Amino acid sequence: MSSDRVKAVLEVGPLFESNWTGIPNVVAALAERALSDDQIGWTYAYETVPMPRQIVEGFLSQRSGTGGLETLSGRVWQAHPISRHDAARMSVVFPHIKPVRGYFGREAMIVHDLSPLVTPEFHNADNINHFANRIREDIATSDHLFCVSEATKGDVGAYFGQPEEKMSVIRLGAEFDPAELSAGMLQINQGVTVEPYIAVIGTLEPRKNGGLIFDYLVENPGFSGQYKVVFIGRDGWMNERDRLMARLAEVGVSSDRIEFTGYVTNAERTALMLNSAFCVYPSFFEGFGLPVLEAGALGKVTVCSNSSSMPEVAPETCVFFDPGDIFQFAQAMRTAELRAAQSRSRAQSISDILERARPHGWDQCYRQVAAWVKED
């Protein structure tokens, strides 16, 4: 490593999760670019414990942190933490909450959203208080705040009175592996008939507003005869899902018209979105709404809430609606059906998708992070 390179730390704790969604994918995208940056001497760390480059490369290769906890337990005993003397001369980027504060010379963090404060109705009091106290100190001890959207930046300024010059917006990215796209398009290219379905994207929890789909089907049971409804994402509803399914049974919607995938890999999610008639993202609140950007790059129309950051993401491919208005949602669904039918008549290739995704890659996001590191 050249001694004249800027020294910086990327905290990669989220990569140790076995199933990557959301924040781990953001960290992975930044780490991939950091590994090839010849101007910054990056140290990868779990909190203050340095991680060998090979561990990060292994995670990125398998797209998972499976096995990482065993490795970490060994590193904690064998490796020395980054010393305070060295840390004082380094910049650090925390991709989420800060496990330590005031340890490094310069500290930046990525703020994804302030959901517990902005939408407290979806969180319990203990969670709200814990988040509010933690995020307040994290923000106060940071030299710079990277916000994932203008909406999040506005919330940080409003709730915590942060000056404009301390904040900047970094847009998250959407990229696809050509091999995964090829696998996802195989059914289309081979002329295999796929029963029409819509893809509802996001963890099944109240904030994601998946219950709106059930309200719609109760009022429009005939829709299930045209399309299956596939919920893509982890299930956070627990017993609530059974109650919602019982409501559908009362109006004659068969349970086999609704599917819940649970956790899926990025490749599986890409295939499910790619082969859908159109996508639905009914969330009440998002810091960014990355699936909307991914769906747009795949050429899919998305029925999307008009709240928080979501109108910023991919407005040209969305049909917006008020997430609390079932009538608006029904209108948006009809519009999406028409737009989707028009787009299906135009064949698309892998090169078409990659070309659409190119302006929305992760390079710009990393460049902004790297520029802050090199300011010093």
pLDDT tens, position by position, for the chain (376 residues)? 455 789 999 999 999 999 898 899 999 999 999 999 999 999 999 999 999 999 999 999 999 999 888 888 878 778 889 999 999 999 999 999 999 999 999 999 999 999 999 999 988 898 899 898 899 999 999 999 999 999 999 999 999 999 999 999 999 999 999 988 988 886 555 555 578 999 999 877 888 998 899 999 999 999 999 999 999 988 766 567 788 888 888 899 999 999 999 888 888 999 999 999 999 999 999 999 999 999 999 999 999 999 999 999 999 999 999 999 999 999 999 999 999 888 776 668 899 999 999 999 999 999 999 999 999 6
Please provide the CATH number assigned to the domain covering 178-359.
3.40.50.2000
Rounded Cα gap, residues 107 and 204, in angstroms: 34
Rounded Cα gap, residues 312 and 13, in angstroms: 29
Q: Could you give the count of Cα atoms lying within 13 Å of 70 in the half-sphere of its Cβ?
A: 3
Give the DSSP letter of residue 361.
Answer: S
Summarised one tens digit per residue, pLDDT across range 183-225 is 888 655 555 557 899 999 987 788 899 889 999 999 999 999 9
Distance of CA 41 to CAs 8, 26, 34, Å? 6, 20, 9
Per-residue pLDDT, 186: 66
Tell me if 321 sits within 8 A of 328, measured CB to CB: yes
CB-based contacts of 77, cutoff 8 Å, min separation 6 = none
Common-topology check for domains 6-173+361-374 and 178-359: yes
Per-residue pLDDT, 1: 46
Per-residue pLDDT, 4: 73
Nearest to 278 by CA among 337, 321, 203: 337
Residues in the chain: 376
Per-domain residue ranges of the chain: 6-173+361-374, 178-359
Residue type, 185: M
Other C-beta atoms closer than 10 Å to the C-beta of 73 total 10
Confirm or reject CATH 3.40.640 for domain 6-173+361-374, answering yes or no. Answer: no
Rounded Cα gap, residues 12 and 30, in angstroms: 10
